[in-house]
Amino acid sequence: MTDANGDIVLDVRELQTHFFLRRGIVKAVDGVSFSLRRGEVLGLVGESGCGKSLTALSLMRLLPKGGARTIHGQVLLNGDDILTRTPREMREIRGREISMILQDPQTSLNPVFTIGDQLREAIFRRSRARHRDLMREAIDALRRVDISAPEQRIGQFPHQMSGGMKQRVVGAIAISGHPQVLIADEPTTALDVTIQLQYLKLLKRLQQETGMAILFITHDFGVVARMCDRVAVMYAGRIVECGPVAEVFDNPSHPYTQALIASVPKMTGSTARLYTIEGQPPSLMDLPVGCRFAARCPHAEERCESAYPPSFTVGAAHTADCWRMTAR
Amino acid sequence: MSGGEFHGKPLLQVEHLRKYYPFTKGVLLAKTLGQVKAVDDVSFAIEAGETLGLVGESGCGKTTTSKLILNLEEPSDGRVLLHGKPIHGLAGAALREYRARVQAVFQDPWSSLNPRMTIGRTIAESLIVTGWGNRAAIAERVGELLDQVGLRRDQITQYPHEFSGGQRQRIALASALASQPQLIVLDEPVSALDVSIRAQMMNLLKDIQARSNVAYLLVAHDLATVRHMADYTAVMYLGKIVEYGPTQALFDNVTHPYTKALFSAVLPPRPDRREEEIVLAGEVPSPLNPPSGCRFHTRCPFAMAQCSREEPPLRELAPGHLAACHLLTA
């Protein structure tokens, strides 16, 4: 990806976030690069512990306490590296330029304040508007996320709402500052399937209305197929494959992506044994020098164990980090 | 397996099962304001070696149904029969015998294991309770169980925190298998697991069933998982079964509007295969005051006047395939 392209709103380069623990260094995010264009939805897929959530928290500069530090890389938001900003400047950037929705709406909302209070706080931080205007804007914000009777709902506490409704409120707060980039970290994982579909449709509509770019973090290829324009697959702290969604589904090139797609139970075809990946991901404290998937890969060769493969181009804007791609 | 003598009766029968929880106000002299109808007239049967998938969204009563079958709750009405004998009201040795016959594996492998026990001890526990035999026999059986679920025998002295989520779920399965049950209630057994681990677990469950002829009641929300695992599928909505049938037949000919909505909410396997989506308005109504007539009529895109008045009975569409909807007779 080149930065000559003015369309790029978020450009992440060689991001490394490690946990420095007494037991050793956990390389949770270890050289992640990707870019996000205006109005685009990029899916970041991977299994637990692959570093996808920590990547998101690194972008927000909201690393968990306890030794996590971003030690290398750049996060260019409109060409401006936000990793060099002060915490005070970051507070201004968060919510207005880059915003985030977390998996569990229960933990994102404060149980002792009404949702109106929480929405108004978010809007006030951005606009410093007067109370009456805040109230009107908060009601509008709820209406935009399809909450019926927002005038009544605004005085309610989070526990009076269902999970799907709470997640809508979280969405309303996240986009109240008109961010250019929204990071959605598994926003529908805690929701029921019919509510999940409602929420995905809502996010898509909001994205089309506002033109914001979304980094959609998920473990579910179905969500990727439904929501995303491009997809990046993460394994053990690195992106191993990245490309347009249709390309990656038609022509998955990294053996890990192939295995992931094959191991999902399908709604059509045979119900015989599912394809499985043997073994476990490597320990992030003791990563192999070569390809991190080599120990589980059915095609592993000698060079896979001795050196990490570079990103090979396998199609239009489609790359994969796998030595086998050299043969093409 | 103690099969022969019970020949002819299904392994498990659930007949007109109801569970109402009173909704009260006040502590002393509490007034009953109403009943939460968590399970309302549910009937089905499971044969030995079969899997029944119970599908529905949160609050539909699938977990209450499994608790009733596990004899952890008393029904308000109706019966659960194992080999034709009612299970509620059992006590003493008969109850222990039932607990050995019917086991469970729950969703969260992090909370279902005792963190202070080695996994060997956890698995041995149910053998000790059921009086498996002496120390050596128990140790041998624990080893066998670890082999069966694909763990190494030398891991017997390790503690749950030393295992990954998928391995913990294998440990939970091993301890459920210890007493040689005839039925295992699997409550969302794979939904907390990663995709690649999920496939391993599903294959393992099928292998064990093929080997030991154990029956499963699979409580799940993911239709694709049910399709891969279950011989029969029951779809629940607000405490009632709205559609039931052999999995293949039901998936080929989805009939009830709620089942259709559930199916259309399944995300596409590929970006270009997007079928027409039925997006349901609103959320599941409260089971405290379930809608009159058909409970789905408030969200049903095909609701008619009749639907809010009369409750549709389950009707047979094809051999063994039932659905409760007025559209079938309209």
pLDDT at A2: 43
Task: For residue A220, give the nearest of B227, B267, B284 by CB distance.
Answer: B267
Which of A235, A88, A257, A191 has its CA nearest to residue B59?
A191
CA distance A271 to chain B (A): 5
| pLDDT at site B274 | 59
Supply the pLDDT for residue A1: 43
- pLDDT at position B5 is 44
- Residue B4, pLDDT score: 42
Q: How far apart are CA B198 and CA B185, in angstroms?
A: 17
Q: Which residue from B minimizes the CA distance to A251?
A: B270
Of the candidates A193, A266, A274, the beta carbon closest to that of B269 is on A266
Domain boundaries, chain B: 6-328
Indicate the pLDDT class of residue A245, thresholds 50, 70 and 90: very high
State the helix-helix crossing angle for A131-144 and A115-127, rounded to 10 degrees.
Answer: 110
A211 touches chain B (CB under 8 A): no
Q: 3-state class of B132 per DSSP?
A: coil
Predicted confidence (pLDDT) at residue A327 exceeds the cutoff of 80: no
Between CA A30 and CA A291 the distance in angstroms is 13
Pairing of strands B51-55, B215-220: parallel
Question: From CA A278, how far away is CA A263, in angstroms rounded?
Answer: 11
The answer to whether the CB atoms of A197 and B264 lie below 8 A apart is yes
Give the closest of A220, A225, A276 to B196, CB-based: A276
* CB A230 within 8 Å of CB A316: no
Size of interface A-B (CB pairs under 8 A): 108
Q: What percent of chain A is modeled with pLDDT above 90?
A: 71
Give the closest of B264, B271, B280 to A225, CB-based: B271
Taken in order of first residue, the domains within chain A and their CATH numbers are: 8-97+179-272 (3.40.50.300), 113-177 (no CATH)
Which residue do the tokens 């995010």 mark? A29
Regions in chain B scoring below 50 on pLDDT: 1-6
Q: What is the dihedral of CA B8, B10, B16, B20, to 10 degrees?
A: 150
Please tell me whether residue B58 adopts helix, strand or coil conformation: coil
Of A194, A222, A245, Cβ closest to residue B262? A194
Assess contact for B178 and B137: CB atoms under 8 A. Answer: no
Asked if B199 lies within 8 A of A225 by C-beta distance, the reply is no
Structure tokens at B185: 């209630």
Mind listing the pLDDT tens digit for each residue in A274-302? 888 887 888 899 999 999 999 999 999 99
ipTM value of the model? 0.81
Instruction: Among B188, B191, B194, B242, pick the best mutation site for testing chain A contact (most A Cβ within 10 A).
Output: B194
Summarize the confidence of residues A123-139 as an average pLDDT: 87
Does residue A128 or residue B138 have the better pLDDT?
B138
With CA atoms as reference, the chain A residue closest to B264 would be A194
Q: Does A196 touch chain B (CB under 8 A)?
A: yes
pTM of the entire predicted model: 0.87
Cβ atoms of residues B175 and B109 within 8 Å: no
Distance CA A37, CA B301 (A): 38
pLDDT in the model for residue B7: 54
In tens, the pLDDT along A191-222 reads 888 889 999 999 999 999 999 999 999 999 88
The DSSP line for B162-187 is GS-HHHHHHHHHHHHHTT--SEEEEE
Contact by Cβ (8 Å): B255, B74 = no
Q: How confident is the model at residue A10 (pLDDT cuts 50, 70, 90)?
A: very high
- Superfamily of domain B6-328 in CATH is P-loop containing nucleotide triphosphate hydrolases (3.40.50.300)
Residues from chain A that touch B221, judged by Cβ atoms under 8 A, are 192-193
Percentage above 70 pLDDT, chain A: 98
Question: For residues B76 and A119, what is the distance between their CA atoms, to the nearest angstrom?
Answer: 44
Who among A193, A273, A280 is closest to B203 (CB)? A273
Touching B: A residues 52-91, CB under 8 Å: none
Which residues of chain B approach chain A closer than 8 Å at the C-beta? 57-58, 164-165, 194-200, 202-203, 206, 221-225, 227-228, 251, 261-272, 274, 277, 279-280, 283-284
DSSP H helices in B114-246: 119-129, 135-148, 165-177, 195-212, 223-229
Predicted confidence (pLDDT) at residue A225 exceeds the cutoff of 50: yes
Residue A304, pLDDT score: 93
CA A177 – CA A73 distance, rounded (Å): 27
Unique residue bearing structure tokens 């006040």: B26
Q: Is the pLDDT of residue A98 over 90?
A: yes
